[in-house]
Amino acid sequence: MTDMIETAKRALGLVDLTNLNDDCTSADITGLVGRTVTDHGSVAAVCVWPRFVAQAANELKGTGVRVATVVNFPEGGEDTDAVLAETRQAIADGADEIDLVMAYRAFVSGRKGFAEEQIIRVKEALPAPVLLKVILETGEIGDPLLIHAASNVAIAAGADFIKTSTGKAAVNATLEVAEIMLTVIEEARRDDGERVIGFKPAGGIRTSEDAASYLALADRIMGRNWVSAHTFRFGASGLLDALIATIEGGGHTPNQGY
C-alpha cells in the first residue's frame, strides 16, 4: 500500500482536471477550480471548454495551475480557419495550453498532408510558452500502424504533447495505445535529444491502479526520471478523488466520467 500511496502522490501533480461535459456551467467551473489545490499538492491544469477559459484563468490566478482548453473538439473537423479563430480567442482569454483534435478522419482517409498542415497552422498561432497537445482520437483510428504514423505526423507538425483521446469516443485511452505513442516519443527523443515531447492519456482513467499502470509503462519506455508535468499528463475528471482517497488511506474510489 505504501508504494501505491507514493504513486498516487506522484500522479496527482500530473492531472489535467477536466470538465468537458456538454451541460457544464459556470458554477461547475468554479467547483472544478476549487478542487485544483489539495492538501497533497496541486494538479497540473484544468481542461475546460473554450467558453470557460476566461473564467478559469481568472479564478486560478496565483495558484500556479494552468488552463487548458480544447479546439476542433470533439469532431476533428476540417474547417481550419474556424479552428484558428477558436484557438486565437482561447489564447486571448488566457489559455496556457491548447488541446487540438487532429483531423483524424482526413488522416485515415489518406489525406495526411491536410491533417499535418492544420496542426502546423495551429502551432504557428500559439505564442510561446503556450503548449500544443494534439489529440489523435486513437479509438477511432484503430489500426496500430496508423496510430504510430499519426503520432509521428503530430510530432513533426509541432505538437508539444500527443494525447490519446477526446474522452467522447467509444474507445479512449488504453495501455496498448499508450505503448505505441510512448515508443514514438522515445524514437523522436533519440533523433532529437533537445526537443521534449509529452504524452497525455485521456478518457477512462479513473483509479489509482489505472494511473500506476500508465506511469509504470512510461517508466519502462522512457526511464524513471522522464515523467513530470512537463512531459506527462492524465486527462481525467474522477481520477483526482481516487488519488486523494489512496493517499489518505482510503484505497481507490471508482468514478465515472472523462
- pLDDT higher than threshold 80 for residue 253: no
pLDDT tens per residue across span 146-162: 999 999 999 999 999 99
Whole-number Cα distances in Å, 224 to 14, 153, 221: 15, 26, 9
Inter-residue contact 122 to 98 (CB < 8 Å): yes
Signed CA dihedral, 177, 233, 52, 153: sign only: negative
**Is 123 one of the catalytic residues?**
no
Which residues, in sequence order, are bridge partners of residue 110? none
Query: pTM for the full model?
Result: 0.95
pLDDT exceeds 90 at position 63:
yes
Burial 110-144, CB ≥16 within 10 A → b, else e:
eebeebbebbebbbebbeeebbbbbbbbbbbbeee
Please name the residues in contact with 184: beta carbons below 8 A apart, sequence gap of 6 or more: 148, 151, 152, 155, 162
Q: End-to-end alpha-carbon separation of the chain, Å?
A: 26
Find, among 100, 105, 71, the residue nearest to 162 by Cα.
Answer: 100
The grid coordinates listed for 235 are: 486527462
Which of 16, 93, 96, 99 is flagged as catalytic? 99
Nearest to 111 by CA among 81, 71, 149, 58: 149
Active site residue 168: no
Q: What is the mean pLDDT of the chain?
A: 96
Catalytic residue among 123, 200, 210, 241: 200
Pairing mode, strands 41-42 and 37-38: antiparallel
Q: What are phi and psi of 213, to 5 degrees?
A: -65, -45
pLDDT of residue 3: 93
Give per-residue pLDDT as tens, 238-251.
Answer: 999 999 999 999 65
Paired sense of beta strands 15-19 and 161-163, if any: unpaired
Give the total residue count for the chain. Answer: 258
Neighbour order of strands in the sheet with 66-71: 198-200, 161-163, 131-135, 97-101, 66-71, 45-48, 15-19, 234-236
With bands split at pLDDT 50, 70 and 90, how would you rate the model's confidence at 255? Answer: very low
Count of alpha carbons within 13 Å of 240, Cβ hemisphere only?
A: 27
Which band of pLDDT confidence, cut at 50, 70 and 90, is reported for residue 193? confident
Q: What is the pLDDT of residue 1?
A: 60
pLDDT at 62 over 80: yes
Domain ranges of the chain: 2-247
Please state, for a pLDDT cut of 90, what percent of the chain lies above it: 94
Query: Which residue of the set 123, 133, 163, 210 is catalytic?
Result: 163
Residues 6 or more apart in contact with residue 101 via CB below 8 angstroms:
70, 71, 72, 73, 74, 75, 76, 135, 137, 166
| CATH (one of 3.30.70.1070, 3.30.70.270, 3.30.1490.190, 3.20.20.70) for 2-247 | 3.20.20.70
- pLDDT band, residue 170 (cuts 50/70/90): very high
The answer to whether 27 touches 5, Cβ cutoff 8 Å, is: no
- Tell me if residue 163 is catalytic: yes
